[in-house]
Structure 1
Amino acid sequence: MKNYPKKGYLISNFRVFHLRDKQLRPIPFHYHDFHKVILFLGGHVDYIIEGKLYHLQANDIIFVSAGEIHRPVFLDDKAPYERIVIYVAPEFLQRWQEQADLAQCFHTAKDKGSVMHQLPNRSHDLLFHMDKLEKTAHGEGFANGLYTEILFIEFLILLNRSIEDHELETLGSVSYDEKIQQVLTYINEHLADDLSIETLAGKVFLSRYYLMKKFKADTGYSLHAYIRSKRLLYARDLLRTKKTVTDISREAGFQDYSTFSRAFHGLFHCSPKEWRAHHLSAAASRSSSF
């Protein structure tokens, strides 16, 4: 099985970058363990997220949730690809869950569209706040780590308020195949069920051959690789709970534990129990980092 790569690592609660690339090399489909927010500043770029192709405009905001398969598509290199990128650990957002659902922007993006456009005459200048956050994150000074975290929380609050106040609208310039989206939705809502190619093809009234070919073209994955990756990502998330590993393997759609364990090790290079132990240690480290 071809494993699509997990790119990047996040050892802190969040990181901020202002990037400007003149020479653009193709980037393969990949996913992250963390959420990502991108403020697109310039260039000729489209963005594919879970089978949907978004045609970007300057000042668009891109939301990529942890585990979502994505990649940018460079249309030409006449203008540099410039953007501000924020990586954020899901655990950091969970810590604030009782006070406010700071992850609401990612939930909304999943439901309504992963790319949003900033409307004129808005209350909050998100570029200003992202730029200030990026400069502070790479600066020094008294209590700089604490100050950076405060600015980051402020930015997330303003971002969610902008969505709630309808100052960000879902990007209209998006292309996708309706039947492939139906298959993607069905897979992600039925990970524990039978997801054979015959079953999926029957759901959308397509031939097996056409479905496999079209699915690979739109998502970068074979159906088998996509389903297995999503089941393993879901199982990894469940390892944060107190459920037994055996129960998790069944809930994620694996018929037996040994198959699950081998597949998990193949993707994450450790056993489920080792991942759980490492996660507990990393979460404790993050909670004491500020």
Structure 2
Amino acid sequence: MGKAKSENQCFWRDAGLPFVELRRVDDGRAVCYERHSHDTFSMGIVKGGRSTYWNRGKTHETGKGSVVVLNPEDVHGCNPVPGGGWCYDMLFVDPAWLLDLQVEIDADAAGRFAMFSDTISHNPVLYSGLQNLADTLINPDCDRLVKESTMVSFFADLHVVLDRRGILRRDTGATDKNKMDRVADYIRAYCAEDVNLDDLAAVIGVSRSYLVRAFKKTHGMTPYAYLINCRVQKARHALKRGERIVDVALDCGFADQAHFQRVFKRLMATTPRQYAMAHVA
């Protein structure tokens, strides 16, 4: 996992998630581009300031709340408007990964990446969703499962928001509670390990996008949130047995003791030490 940072911008990437990269620019007044293209699907949000955005022969002016959409190989240009503090997040996604997700949502999409017709949007739900995704990816406290789950959820919903051709909207049917309960059992059994969406989907033979939606509908939280809750409950029992906090953190799947303490307090409204001390006779 890495984050290369200069004074006003940073690039985030993770070897465990090789299909996505994030560029975050906090002050883009000097960031100017000649017209160019990417071999990725690219999508960004403007968080402040203004810029001009050229794509497919049209020029748009963007500001806070704008979402720009770039299909692979779209020639485009984006430059700040003088006098404003242009800042933005830009996501770059491997089209092969996104195509796999499109096929999961609708098998009729198999074989060819489904291009988007929109080049710019001001949809507040889309904007907030992409902002949440960027913040999740760059957050060192979020592990691979929450990042990948957030990716799948966002891009599955993206088709409904942006698609104009009526594809990729097929209802996956009623939730199979028994299947989701089997996934929950798997999470409880392996919560201390590095569980990912592919593992969970394989348990019951469904797609990742279906799993994320159906699990949340059945259990009221995402698979990742359920995993974290299981880790905290496992840790709670270990603390009651008198085990050391640092050992509990690692044994229960947390990155380190500091991460464990933040998550434990968020879910239990007390620190691990306070909880452990309360059970000392």
TM-score (norm 1): 0.44
Q: Which has the higher contact order (CA 8 A, sep 6+)?
A: 1
Higher Cα radius of gyration: 2
